Amino acid sequence: MNSPLHAGTLESLVFDNRFVNELPGDTIKTNRRRQVRGACYSRVHPEKVSSPELLTYSPEVAEILELSPQTCKTDYFAELFGGNQLVQGMDPYAMCYGGHQFGNWAGQLGDGRAINLGEIINSRGEHWTLQLKGAGPTPYSRNADGLAVLRSSVREFLCSEAMHHLGIPTTRALSLVTTGEQVERDMFYDGHPKEEPGAVVCRVSPSFIRFGNFEILASRGETTLLQQLIDFTIRSDFPHLGQPSTATYLKWFNEICRTTAEMIIHWMRVGFVHGVMNTDNMSILGLTIDYGPYGWLEDFDPNWTPNTTDSQGRRYCFKNQPHTGQWNLLQLANSIFPVINDKIPLQESLTLYNDVFQQGWNEMMAEKLGFTSFDPQSDNKLISELTSILPLVETDMSIFFRNLALLDIHPDAQDTDSLLYPLLDAYYQPEQITKEYKNRIGKWLQDYMQRSLQEKLSTRERRSHMNRINPKYVLRNYMAQLAIDKAEKGDASMINDLLELIRHPYDEQPENEIYSAKRPDWARNRPGCSMLSCSS
C-alpha cells in the first residue's frame, strides 16, 4: 500500500476517514462552544503552539503505523503531533457525545480537549485513528481551554503503554510532545492555580467511539441518527457479526457486555483502578480509555480510589469497578433501546455480563494462585478468605502475589513463620502483624499449600505459571511522578527508562529491582503519588 519511495514516512500514511465520510457532521464551521445537534462530530483544527518538541515516542506503536524510527525523530514529526502541521489526507474533527458522570446525566460532553487527526489503514488492513489530546479548544470544550499539561500527559502516555504490555485491552500512545506553552491549572481545585508546561499526547485506537456517543443521540430523541451510528459502528468495528439488523444489534450489545467484563477482570487482576468510570470514558470496543486519576492498588484496600473528586462517595473505588461496568452497560442499553424496542434480550445481555465476570474472576484468581483450573469446592472459600485477610494489614498487592510464587510447596507441615517469610516484603508496617492476624493467614497458607499440592506441578512450572499472570512491575504513581518532576526540569530520561521498564512487566529485571519494591514512605501522601484529580 505504501510506495517504496515514501515507505515509513508521514506522507506514506493512507487515510480513509470513514467516520467523517459516512456520518453527518456539524453544519456550523466556527470553532465556538455550543450545543451540537443532529451531528456526530465537528470539524476543527488543532491550535498551533510556539515550539513543539518530542519528548518520547513508542517504537511499537510507530511500527503498527509503519512509521520508521528516523521519521519519528524529525522536527516535522514533532510539529505534526504537536498540532502545528497536517499531512495530506488528514481531516481533523472532534466527536459529539454525552455521558453519566458519577451516576448523573451530564448532557453534552464531547471531545473537549481531543482532536482526531484522521483514520488510517496500514498495509495489513488494520484501521487506526490518530487523536491528539491537549491540542486546543473544540465546540465541546465548555468553559475549558482544550489544553493539557505535561503532568497528566506523561501519565497518559506511560499508562497506555504499560497497560498494553500487561496484556490489558487499551488504547495506545504514539508520542508525547511538549508545546513550549504555559497552561494554568488548579490541580486540586482548591483555589491555588499555577502555570505548568503544556503537552500533547497522540493516542491511537481502532476507534474512539464511547457509550456516550449513543447516549447523547438517544437523550435528544435523534433516533434516525442513533441507528445510523449503530449501523456504522457494526459495519466498521464489528463486521464479523454480520450486516446491521435487529438480530445483529443484539449480538453487538452482547459482545460489548462480554468485552467490558473481560477488560475489568484484567483491571482487577493487576490491581488497576481507573478512577473515573463515567459512561463517556467507556470504549465500545472494551478498551481501557482516558487515563486521568488512575492508580494501582499498593495497600490492598478494596475501597481505595485515586480520584480526589470521588474521595467521599468512592463510586469508582477498586471493589466497585465490576458493578460500575454493568451500570454503565445499563445506560448504553437504555440508549439503544429505541432502535431495538425489546428490553428482554438487553436484560439477558446484562445478565451475561454478570456470568462472564464471575466465571472470569474465578478463573483469573485461580491463575493468580498458581492453579491450572478453578475448583469451586475448595477455591471459592480460599479466594474469599484471602480477599478478607489482605485488607487487615497494609499489604502491597503486587508484591504479595508475586512473592506467593516463592513459597515452597511440599507435603511436610511448616510453621507459620516459615510460610510467611517469603511474603514479608509485601507488608508496609510489619508491626501491624498481630498474633491473631498471623494465626489467620497461617491457616490460609496451610490450606493454600494443600490445594497447591493437588496441581502436581513442579516448583519451576508453578512459579513460571504464576509469574506470567502476576506482574513484578506496575506503573506506581510515585514512579510516574518522579518522571514528571524530571521532565518539568527539561530531563525526559526517566520517561524513557520507565517506558523500557514497563515493556517487560512480568520479567525479572535485576537492574530495575528498586521499582518492584513497596511505595516509598515519602510518597504516601504526596500529591500525584497518592491522590489525583481530573485536572490536566
DSSP line for 472-493 = S----HHHHHHHHHHHTTT--H
Phi, psi of 247 (to 5 degrees): -65, -40
**Residues 6+ away with beta carbon under 8 Å from 64:** 122, 126, 128, 172, 204
Q: Which three cell numbers stand for residue 455?
A: 496441581
Q: Name the burial class of residue 59, with classes exposed (0-12), middle (13-18) and buried (19+) by CB atoms within 10 angstroms of its CB.
A: middle
Q: Between vectors from CA 463 to CA 460 and to CA 464, what angle results, nearest 5°? A: 80
Phi, psi of 507 (to 5 degrees): -90, 155
Is 531:307 a contact under the CB 8 Å cutoff? yes
Number of residues that make up the chain: 536
**Residues 6+ away with beta carbon under 8 Å from 378:** 451
Give the separation between CA 336 and CA 330, rounded to whole angstroms. Answer: 10
Is 384:448 a contact under the CB 8 Å cutoff? no
3-class DSSP state of 231: helix
- 53: β partners: 178
Q: Which three cell numbers stand for residue 460?
A: 519451576
Instruction: Provide Rg for the chain, Cα atoms.
Output: 24
Give the separation between CA 44 and CA 31, rounded to whole angstroms. Answer: 7
Q: The dihedral of CA 272, 63, 213, 30: what is its sign?
A: positive
Active centre residues (catalytic): 280
Q: Which three cell numbers stand for residue 317?
A: 473505588
CB atoms within 10 A of CB 17: 18
Q: The dihedral of CA 397, 401, 404, 406: what is its sign?
A: negative
Nearest Cα to Cα of residue 373 among 465, 441, 446: 465
Q: The dihedral of CA 86, 90, 96, 100: what is its sign?
A: negative
3-class DSSP state of 195: strand
The 3 state secondary structure assigned to 430-466 is: HHHCCHHHHHHHHHHHHHHHHHHHCCCCCHHHHHHHH
Give the separation between CA 162 and CA 272, rounded to whole angstroms. Answer: 11
Nearest Cα to Cα of residue 368 among 279, 269, 247: 269
